[in-house]
């Protein structure tokens, strides 16, 4: 076989009109080799003739297993077929065969119209956030990205429970100023899975007049916009930052998103801030009525004058012990009302298993306990004297003439 340099030289000389016999004589090769080089469409390369290898005898058994379970790990395949050679060589051959047995899942190019859809997702920043009790925890960040303009809004929330997810969604939609016609969610338990919707989600979507779309499994393209933005947050927002609390994280993240939305996105060749107005124009208007969202419960306040929200306990004015109270909370505050009157208000705690006490409630409790423990004054019995004959008549021991 001639070298690449000889092949190129033969073709150049032939193009200059040098006879093939002279080229063969000059290079010391046969005239047939010169003719093949001139007529070839590609440079010469060595191609090894296929032949049996140590894997050949095992290939039929591997193919049979892959036909039943296309994703079976190579190590399991090696054990099933009795392979004792190099596992690396076995993996290379399995990698070559696997695509032939795996079903094809093509993905279409999606076109996102203005105002049509917003993709929702939970992003977990890879850094623990300090909490009120001195602990630190990985907390979720709810992110909503408009599919057309790529305009993103986000906020850290305390939990993945339905109440907090809906509160966060409503806050981010208010930041958008309009309601996307569809909200695309993966199978998040706090929102719904399959045909099931979490409690309160259907009424929330109905109030917004939007449509909830729960994406099927193995459909990453339908939510790829927000997931790519989440990856960008980790590489562009997180490095070098420190956070003292969830509120500090939200302040920094909101400020950074203002700048991020002004940057040109390569795939759409425009900045989200420049396209969001067209996006909003095609969205739905915000609902004309206020939404009653968040944590809500109605209980009778016990002697232990605390109410539980999620995993934390909050003190209540002991004066309403034994009466029904309404407990409500959003992402920031916890409020307790009795007959419409606020009897407790606390900042919401994001730590778990914490007891939050108002010193005023402790003072009231001590005063009420002291009043309860004091002996009650007994009124004079002078005016309670009664004729004993009244008891005789009550028990039928007398007649009209006298005692029987």
- Compute CA distances 355 → 302, 307, 339, whole Å: 16, 10, 25
Helices (H), 102-245: 162-176, 201-208, 224-232
Q: Is the pLDDT of residue 208 over 80?
A: yes
Residue 194 φ/ψ, nearest 5 degrees: 60, -125
**Where along the chain do its domains lie?**
4-39, 56-101, 117-282, 295-373
Average pLDDT, integer, range 251-256: 96
For residue range 286-306, list pLDDT tens digits in order: 998 878 899 999 999 999 999
- Quote the pTM value: 0.71
For residue range 128-151, list pLDDT tens digits in order: 999 988 999 999 999 999 999 999
pLDDT at 290: 79
For residue range 65-122, list pLDDT tens digits in order: 999 999 999 999 999 999 999 999 999 999 999 999 888 776 667 888 999 999 999 9
Q: Is the pLDDT of residue 376 over 80?
A: no
Confidence of residue 398 (pLDDT cuts 50, 70, 90): low
Average pLDDT, integer, range 338-342: 94
For residue range 11-60, list pLDDT tens digits in order: 888 888 889 888 888 888 888 888 888 888 777 776 777 778 899 999 99
pLDDT at 288: 86
Q: What is the CA radius of gyration of the chain?
A: 39
Secondary structure percentages of the chain, helix, strand, coil, to 5: 40, 20, 40
Q: What fold characterizes domain 117-282?
A: Nucleotidyltransferase; domain 5 (3.30.420)
Q: Within 10 A of 305 (CB to CB), how many other CB atoms are there?
A: 24
Both tokens assigned to 78: 């090696």
pLDDT at 384: 56
């Amino acid at each position: 076989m001639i070298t690449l340099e000889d092949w190129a030289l033969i073709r150049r000389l032939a193009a200059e009109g040098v006879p093939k016999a002279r080229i063969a004589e000059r290079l010391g090769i046969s005239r047939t080799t010169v003719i093949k080089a001139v007529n070839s469409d590609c440079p010469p390369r060595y191609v090894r003739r296929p032949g049996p290898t140590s894997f050949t005898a095992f290939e039929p058994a591997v193919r049979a297993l892959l036909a039943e379970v296309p994703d079976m790990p190579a190590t399991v395949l090696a054990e099933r077929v009795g392979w004792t050679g190099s596992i690396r060589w076995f993996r290379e051959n399995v990698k070559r065969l696997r695509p032939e047995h795996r079903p094809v899942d093509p993905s279409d190019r999606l076109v996102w119209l203005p105002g049509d859809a917003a993709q929702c997702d939970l992003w977990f920043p890879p850094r623990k956030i300090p909490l009120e009790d001195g602990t630190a925890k990985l907390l979720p960040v709810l992110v909503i990205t408009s599919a057309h303009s790529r305009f993103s809004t986000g906020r850290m929330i305390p939990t993945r429970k339905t109440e907090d997810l809906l509160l966060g969604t409503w806050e981010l939609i208010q930041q958008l100023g309009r309601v996307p016609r569809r909200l695309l969610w993966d199978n998040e338990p706090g929102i719904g899975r399959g045909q099931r919707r979490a409690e309160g989600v259907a009424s929330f979507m109905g109030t917004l007049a939007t449509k909830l779309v729960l994406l099927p499994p193995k459909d990453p393209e339908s939510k790829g916009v927000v997931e790519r933005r989440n990856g960008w947050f980790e590489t562009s927002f997180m490095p070098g930052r420190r956070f003292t609390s969830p509120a500090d994280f939200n302040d920094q993240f909101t400020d950074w998103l203002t700048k991020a939305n002004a940057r040109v996105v390569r795939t759409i060749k425009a900045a989200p801030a420049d396209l969001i107005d067209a996006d909003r124009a095609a969205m739905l208007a915000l609902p004309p009525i206020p939404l009653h969202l968040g944590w809500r419960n109605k209980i009778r306040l016990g002697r232990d004058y605390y109410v539980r929200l999620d995993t934390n306990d909050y003190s209540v004015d002991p004066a309403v012990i034994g009466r029904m109270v309404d407990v409500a909370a959003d992402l920031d505050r916890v409020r307790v009302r009795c007959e419409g009157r606020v009897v407790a208000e606390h900042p919401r705690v994001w730590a778990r298993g914490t007891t939050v006490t108002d010193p005023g409630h402790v003072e009231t409790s001590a005063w009420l306990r002291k009043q309860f423990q004091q002996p009650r004054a007994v009124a004079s019995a002078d005016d309670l004297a009664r004729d004993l004959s009244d008891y005789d008549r009550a028990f039928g021991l007398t007649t009209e003439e006298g005692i029987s």
